[in-house]
Structure 1
Amino acid sequence: MATNPLQFLQQVRSETAKVHWPTRKEVVTTTIMVFVMAAITSLFFFLVDRIIQFGLLAVLGLGG
C-alpha cells in the first residue's frame, strides 16, 4: 500500500505524539545509574582478572 509523502508525514506526526518522552529528571537519573553500573561492572571484572592472574602466577611458579 503506497502512501504519498504528505500522508506519511501525517502518520509520523501522529505516531510521535503517542511516544512517552522522559522528563529531564528521568534522563539524569537513568544516566547516573548507567555510569554507576558501568563502574561496578568494571570493578568486578578488574578484581576477577587480578584473581585469575594471581592464580596463574602461583600455578606457574612465577609468583615472587
Structure 2
Amino acid sequence: MANPFNFMQEVRAEANKVTWPTRRETMITTGLVVLMVFLTAVFFVSVDEIIRLAVGFILSLGR
C-alpha cells in the first residue's frame, strides 16, 4: 500500500495535466449531442412507421 499523502499528491499532479474544456466548448458539445439524439429519434420513428405501414399492408392482402 502506498502512503495516502503521496497518493493524493500524485492524483493532484495527474489532475493538473488534464486539459479541461471551456464553458463554450462544453455548451457546443452538449448542443451537438442533443441535436444528434433528436435526429436519431426522428430517424427511428420514421423507419418504425414505414415498417408498420408495410407490415399492415402485407397483412391486409391476406383478408
- Alignment partner of 1:61: what SS? helix
Partners of 1:3 and 1:38 in 2: how far apart? 44
**Higher relative helix content:** 2
* Corresponding residue for residue 35 of structure 1: 34
Aligned alpha-carbon RMSD (Å): 1.1
Task: Provide structure 1 residue ranges, at least 5 long, that are not aligned to the other structure.
Answer: none
Partners of 2:2 and 2:9 in 1: how far apart? 11
TM-score (norm 2): 0.93
Alignment coverage as a number of residue pairs = 61
Partners of 2:2 and 2:48 in 1: how far apart? 56
Q: Which has the higher contact order (CA 8 A, sep 6+)?
A: 1
Following TM superposition, by how much is the alpha carbon of 1:3 offset from its aligned partner in structure 2, in angstroms?
A: 1.3
TM-score (norm 1): 0.92
**Structure 1 residue runs of 4 or more that deviate by more than 3 Å after TM superposition:** none
Task: Provide structure 2 residue ranges, at least 5 long, that are not aligned to the other structure.
Answer: none
Identity of aligned residues (%): 44
